[in-house]
């Protein structure tokens, strides 16, 4: 029964920055300038920082909705780990049995395991199971008991979460390209911290003032504020709120908060389009590599449930 009995780290609030924060807090890794654990706020800044992003969607068969992003979504995990010079130890297999064995071996070595699991399959998110919806995000597993069928998880809540081993296995297997991946991290290179922070600040500034790496310039930064204001005040303009959203108060559902802390206006009770799966990482078994790209999901915006932190969507850029 591999379980890290002394695991007590549940302060991470986001799948990517929160998971990295919790992992390093357990390992006792500290920032060179403070002697204290790396804060999630600093990790967010290094990954690209805050942003204004505006998107609206009106796909056939789905409710129209508007979405605002408040954090950089351009490969933030990959960017964060690369800037800090973090080496990743990756175990990757398509075999369910090997996936469990890799997870247990990691725990028995004394390290928590970062795994990718489907948000919609994990029962504590309280979402209806759907074959057409998936979104793989990194979480920490710090215990896995095959005898009792219990797995212990750290995932955005400030308390431990337990699920059945079967539920965790199914969530890990949901997307073929990242199924059963296990990740552990070497400590950051302290000599890279100052440059990493500076690059994160510049990313944030540029995303507010310049065209984004991908997508329309109207979707991000100061231009997004202007674009959104035009859509609110010019009802005859294409994609305006007057054109795409209900005018009667009773037709607008209570805004939900999503993964980036943004309100979502939804008409009726439909679901969004499916998430984009994660990019495949080649090879099997253990390898040491530069940071791999973070999962780029497009999951629908669920509600906050049972003490779990803000959860939801990553909108496509454009």
**103 domain-assigned:** yes
User: What is the predicted pLDDT for the residue at 110?
Assistant: 97
Name which of 43, 7, 18 is nearest 141 in CA terms.
7
Task: Using only the alpha carbons of the chain, give its radius of gyration.
Answer: 20
Span of 32-46, 177-191, 219-233, 257-271 with lowest mean pLDDT: 257-271
**pLDDT grade, residue 237 (50/70/90)?**
confident
Q: In which domain, by residue range, is 72 found?
A: 15-289
Name which of 69, 66, 63 is nearest 49 in CA terms.
69
Name which of 233, 239, 267, 272 is nearest 253 in CA terms.
267
User: What is the predicted pLDDT for the residue at 134?
Assistant: 85
**137 domain-assigned:** yes
User: What is the predicted pLDDT for the residue at 236?
Assistant: 84
Farthest CA pair distance, the chain: 63
**Alpha-carbon distance values, 96 to 88, 154, 166, 207 (Å):** 22, 22, 11, 41
The residue that leads in pLDDT, 199 or 252, is 199
**8 domain-assigned:** no
**316 domain-assigned:** no
Give me the residues paired with residue 89 across strands. Answer: 184, 288
Cα–Cα distance measured from residue 166 to residue 100, given in angstroms and rounded to the nearest whole number: 11
User: What is the predicted pLDDT for the residue at 177?
Assistant: 87
User: What is the predicted pLDDT for the residue at 271?
Assistant: 36
Sheet containing strand 113-118, edge to edge, reads 161-164, 150-154, 136-145, 113-118, 182-185, 88-92, 285-289
Name which of 81, 54, 80 is nearest 67 in CA terms.
54
**Residue 174 carries which DSSP code?**
S
**pLDDT grade, residue 250 (50/70/90)?**
low
Give 7-65 pLDDT, tens digit per residue: 999 999 999 999 999 999 999 999 999 999 999 999 999 999 999 999 887 766 667 77
**29 domain-assigned:** yes
Residue 116 phi/psi, 5° resolution?
Answer: -100, 130
- For residue 254, count CB atoms less than 10 angstroms from its CB and return exposed for 0-12, middle for 13-18, buried for 19 or more: exposed
In the chain, the number of structural domains is: 1
**308 domain-assigned:** no
Backbone φ/ψ region at 14: left (φ over 0), alpha (ψ -120 to 50), beta = beta
Q: Report percent pLDDT > 70 for the chain.
A: 75
**274 domain-assigned:** yes
Cα–Cα distance measured from residue 195 to residue 199, given in angstroms and rounded to the nearest whole number: 6
**pTM to 2 decimals?**
0.77
Backbone φ/ψ region at 64: left (φ over 0), alpha (ψ -120 to 50), beta = beta
Name which of 122, 129, 219, 202 is nearest 167 in CA terms.
122
**Contact, 185 vs 111, CB < 8 A?**
no
Helices (H), the chain: 15-27, 40-47, 76-83, 96-108, 165-172, 193-209, 221-233, 241-244
**Helix count and strand count (H, E) for the chain:** 8, 11
Cα 62 versus chain centre, distance: 23
**314 domain-assigned:** no
User: What is the predicted pLDDT for the residue at 252?
Assistant: 53
């Amino acid at each position: 029964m591999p379980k890290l009995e002394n695991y007590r780290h549940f302060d991470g609030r986001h799948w990517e920055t929160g998971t990295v924060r919790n992992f390093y807090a357990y390992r006792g890794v500290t920032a060179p300038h403070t002697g204290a654990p790396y804060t999630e706020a600093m990790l967010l800044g290094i990954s690209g920082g805050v942003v204004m992003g505006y998107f609206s969607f009106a796909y056939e068969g789905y409710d129209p909705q508007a979405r605002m992003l408040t954090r950089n979504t351009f490969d933030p995990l990959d960017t964060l780990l690369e800037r800090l010079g973090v080496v990743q130890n990756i175990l990757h297999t398509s075999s369910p049995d090997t996936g469990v064995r890799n997870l247990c071996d990691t725990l028995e070595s004394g390290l928590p395991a970062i795994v990718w699991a489907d948000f919609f399959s994990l029962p504590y998110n309280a979402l209806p199971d759907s074959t057409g919806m998936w979104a793989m995000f990194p979480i920490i597993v710090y215990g896995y008991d095959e005898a009792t069928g219990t797995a212990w998880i750290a995932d955005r809540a400030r308390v431990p979460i337990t699920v059945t081993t079967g539920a965790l296995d199914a969530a890990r297997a949901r997307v073929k390209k990242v199924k059963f991946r296990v990740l552990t991290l070497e400590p950051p290179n302290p000599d890279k911290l100052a440059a990493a922070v500076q690059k994160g600040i510049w990313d944030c500034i540029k995303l507010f003032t310049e065209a984004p790496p991908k997508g329309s310039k109207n979707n991000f930064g100061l231009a997004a504020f202007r674009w959104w204001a035009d859509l609110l005040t010019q009802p005859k303009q294409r994609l305006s709120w007057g054109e795409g959203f209900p005018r009667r108060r009773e037709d607008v559902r209570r805004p939900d908060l999503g993964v980036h802390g943004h309100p979502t206006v939804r008409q009726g009770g439909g679901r969004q389009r499916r998430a984009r799966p994660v990019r495949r990482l080649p090879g099997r078994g253990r390898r040491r590599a530069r940071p791999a790209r973070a999962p780029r999901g497009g999951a629908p915006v669920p509600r906050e449930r049972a003490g779990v932190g803000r959860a939801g969507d990553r909108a496509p850029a454009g």
